[in-house]
Amino acid sequence: MNLLLLPKHLQDLISEFNVEHRPIMRVLMDELNRYWIWRNEKDKDCNNCFNYSDAQYSTYILWKKYNFCGEWCRHDLEYHIRKTLRR
């Protein structure tokens, strides 16, 4: 894995560790990088139908970001979320 692909603060954390620990850290950093990529890709999906979402339909409900592909999905899931939270 190329460490230059990671964000700067993670590169700094790696360089602080002992050289003998770096092979073990490489495994950990590979796992963190895979999770980071997965999370960024997950944020591009609609929360209702899992199609590609459009940024203009994204909204926050109680400090959590929800992404939607269109107005219908947005209305459908927002209604369900708000109805659930009222209880």
Are the CB atoms for 10 and 32 separated by under 8 Å? Answer: yes
pLDDT category of residue 83 using cuts at 50, 70 and 90: confident
pLDDT tens-digit readout, 25-70: 788 888 888 888 887 777 777 877 877 778 787 888 888 888 888 8
Beta-carbon contacts of residue 14 (< 8 Å; ≥ 6 apart): 3, 6, 22, 25, 29
pLDDT above 70: percentage of residues in the chain: 92
Q: Which two tokens stand for residue 27?
A: 């495994």
Q: Domain coordinates of the chain in residue numbers?
A: 3-42, 54-86
Angle at 25 between CA 24 and CA 31, to 5 degrees: 105
pLDDT value at residue 87: 66
End-to-end CA distance of the chain: 48
- Does the pLDDT of residue 3 top 80, yes or no? no
Answering whether pTM is above 0.75, one says no
